[in-house]
Amino acid sequence: MSETGSLLTRLECRACCSEVDPSQPRGTCPTCGHTLFARYDLDRLSGRSWRDALRDRERSLWRYRELLPVSRTESIASLGEGGSLILPLGSVPEAPGVEVSVKDDGGLPTGSFKARGMAVAVSRAKELGLTDLYVPSAGNAGVALAAYCARAGLKAHVYLPERTPPALRAACASYGAQVTEVPGTIREAGEMARRTERGRGSFDMSTLREPYRVEGKKTMGFEIFEQTHPDRFPDAIVYPTGGGTGLVGMAKAFDELRTIGLLERVPRLCAVQPAGCAPVVRALASGGTKVDPWPEPRTIAPGLLVPSPFDSERILEAVRTTGGAGVTVTDQEIVDGMRSLARRHGISASPEGAAPYGALDRLVRDRAIRPGERVLLYNTGTGIGFSIEDLARSLGP
């Protein structure tokens, strides 16, 4: 049995400051019900030596093993996730004078950034002896859970809103997951999942309701740092926001890098949401400390149809502490972004992944990004399986 060298020491709740032993399966904070976060003994890690060591390691996200929670290599269920490319776009018409690039997670296993969080969370679940996992999902998280459970030899239960694209529903089933369709949005899917799974001994893998998906997502921040620092490090990162784990994860990554002496300046994190479901952007604009549920949510981007993200305080904190911003895009702007990325730049983006490109013009007009800056757009998933023209027709004249 070989050790990874993980420096995990405890789980911590930022809401009530409780500390929890990580040696047993944990969901949310047992004291207040908020998200638990993994904490590491960063004093034992020399930033400069660690960065030097990374040069000789595998390209997958497991290269960051000291700052991931899995302690034994035998527990790791990997499909080669991580290491996605950053593709320069140069100056684009929507953002004159801005140097724009895209980090493209569409090529990861299962076709989206969800592979990052589920790879780490499922591996840790296996290490802790869990056998049955479930998740409510708009599609991509369910596909990733199903694939990584298959890899790890665990059972997966996926609850999908009935409007989930058929291809995503079929993909979950193809990996052997038990799939349940639920009327409504991911909010209703979550309610049904927790009601149905209560008492069955299965474990909830929902966004920010367990401690380890965010650890996989933080590798986005580690990779951005490794791929761009110092000469091409972005001034701002524009990110499509549904459940918000990616924003929280990147903020955590940059904080850890700063603590070990590798980073001084942190990029501004900008949240993009569809105009028909924008609870985070609304809370940022109003100064709210948490989101209020969005009434009658609608958008063509299923992964952004999250009317009330869990533990939204942490999402708002990630944006505000980095000096970031929130902006909405119309569904038409999402379609236009998909088309521009594909035809101008050869990049296949899902509706969610195209939302940051669709937001460029507004971010410039709002001066959230400025000429002369470097801006990184995060494409969270492949557009393969989506018809741009069918989406455009669905919007009507």
Determine contact, residues 97/112, Cβ cutoff 8 Å. Answer: no
pLDDT for the residue 1: 59
Checking DSSP bridges between strand 268-274 and strand 236-240, what pairing results, if any?
parallel
Select from 273, 290, 221 the least CA-distant residue to 249.
221
Indicate if 335 and 231 belong to the same structural domain: yes
pLDDT for the residue 343: 96
Indicate if 39 and 60 belong to the same structural domain: yes
In a domain, 2, yes or no: no
| CATH (domain of 366) | 3.40.50.1100
> CA-CA distance, 143 to 187, in Å (whole number)?
18
Indicate if 169 and 56 belong to the same structural domain: no
Domain ends where: 204, 234, 258? 204
Q: Residue ranges of the chain with pLDDT lower than 50? A: none
Which residues are CB-contacts of 209 (< 8 A; sequence separation ≥ 6)? 27, 28, 35, 310
The number of distinct structural domains making up the chain is 3
pLDDT for the residue 397: 74
Indicate if 263 and 369 belong to the same structural domain: yes
> CA-CA distance, 355 to 378, in Å (whole number)?
9
Indicate if 257 and 365 belong to the same structural domain: yes
In a domain, 175, yes or no: yes
Indicate if 361 and 246 belong to the same structural domain: yes
In a domain, 136, yes or no: yes
In a domain, 80, yes or no: no
Indicate if 244 and 344 belong to the same structural domain: yes
Which residues are CB-contacts of 305 (< 8 A; sequence separation ≥ 6)? 138, 161, 185, 186, 242, 274, 277, 297, 298, 299
Structure tokens at 261: 């002496």
HEC assignment per residue over the chain = CCECCCCEEEEEECCCCCEECCCCCCCCCCCCCCCEEEEECHHHCCHHHHHHHHCCCCCCHHHHHHHCCCCEHHHCCCCCCCCCCEEEEEEECCEEEEEEEEEEHHHCHHHECHHHHHHHHHHHHHHCCCCEEEEECCCHHHHHHHHHHHHHCCEEEEEEECCCCHHHHHHHHHCCCEEEEECCCHHHHHHHHHHHHCCCCCEECCCCCCCCHHHHHCHHHHHHHHHHCCCCCCCEEEEECCCCHHHHHHHHHHHHHHHCCCCCCCCEEEEEEECCCCHHHHHHHHCCCCCCCCCCCCCCCHHHCCCCCCCHHHHHHHHHHCCCEEEEECHHHHHHHHHHHHHHHCCCCCHHHHHHHHCHHHHHHCCCCCCCCEEEEEECECCCCCCHHHHHHHCCC
Write down the pTM of the prediction. Answer: 0.97
Domain ends where: 75, 100, 130? 75
Indicate if 128 and 227 belong to the same structural domain: no
In a domain, 309, yes or no: yes
Indicate if 39 and 158 belong to the same structural domain: no
Indicate if 259 and 389 belong to the same structural domain: yes
- Which residue range(s) make up the domain with 189? 114-204
Indicate if 233 and 306 belong to the same structural domain: yes
Indicate if 351 and 386 belong to the same structural domain: yes
In a domain, 3, yes or no: no
In a domain, 81, yes or no: no
